[in-house]
Amino acid sequence: MEPETCSSPGDFPPPALFPNISSAQEGDLILARCLVFSHVPITHIFFCKNGVELANHMVGKGQFTSTLAIQLSAESSGTYSCGYRRRSSLGQVMLSRLSVPWLLTTGGGKDDPRNGSIATNLELPAGGLGVSVSLAFAVLSLLALALGIHLLLQIGKRTTSPVACCPLTMPPIGDSQVHTLKLSKIRRH
């Protein structure tokens, strides 16, 4: 049984969806590219609109991208996302999580004073943007912390140098004798 592609929680990290527009006119062609960041071979890349599978593209070995062409019209408004499918070694179909959704809104139908032009806006939903910004901040913070630790270790290596000393010789210790050890001059290099 095949899982529901646009409603399944998914087993793998999500791909990214990159539409190529900021505004367009009715009839224009919009291209939305789905890019998979995976080292695991995939079999299909699928596109969803409003939670329903819109297109399903078979991909060849080593392919990790597919493009959806959308003819811009009043009916093209909706929330778009993409995901990918692969088969396990046992033949089981496994899905990725869906990409962060992109909202395509159109306005300006035939009754609109703008003479039928349609403007499109691609917006991240507020929740998706918050997660993305939080994740970016966390990654940058970790990078800054790693750089700070690296610099501290480098400074520590430069100020610490090996101590040169003469060979230590100890007189034999008897059962009831306590000896003190004298060190010659210690030099720093």
Is 121's pLDDT higher than 50?
Answer: no
- 65 in any annotated domain: yes
- 109 in any annotated domain: yes
Which amino acid makes up residue 114? R
Prediction pTM value: 0.57
Residue 165 φ/ψ, nearest 5 degrees: -150, 160
188: Cβ contacts below 8 Å, ≥ 6 apart: 161, 163, 164
Query: Six-digit token pair at 176?
Result: 């009831």
Tell me if 119 sits within 8 A of 76, measured CB to CB. no
CB crowding 47-64: b at 16 or more within 10 Å, else e: bbbeeeebbebebeeeeb
- 49 in any annotated domain: yes
What are 81-106's pLDDT values in tens digits?
Answer: 999 998 888 888 889 999 999 999 87
3-state secondary structure (DSSP) of residue 148:
helix
Supply the pLDDT for residue 3.
Answer: 57
If 0-12 CB within 10 Å is exposed, 13-18 middle and 19+ buried, where does residue 124 land? middle
Number of domains in the chain: 1
- 40 in any annotated domain: yes
What are 30-78's pLDDT values in tens digits?
Answer: 999 999 988 778 999 999 999 999 999 998 888 899 999 999 998 999 9
Tell me if 182 sits within 8 A of 168, measured CB to CB. no
- 159 in any annotated domain: no
Tell me if 132 sits within 8 A of 124, measured CB to CB. yes
Q: Provide the domain limits for residue 112.
A: 16-125
Is 132's pLDDT higher than 60?
Answer: no
Q: Find the CATH number of the domain harbouring 42.
A: 2.60.40.10
Supply the pLDDT for residue 126.
Answer: 46
- 173 in any annotated domain: no
State the Cα–Cα distance between residues 75 and 172, nearest whole angstrom.
97
State CA 180 to chain mean position distance: 63
| Angle at alpha carbon of residue 15, lines to 9 and 17, rounded to 5° | 115
- 171 in any annotated domain: no
Which amino acid makes up residue 88? S
3-state secondary structure (DSSP) of residue 68:
strand
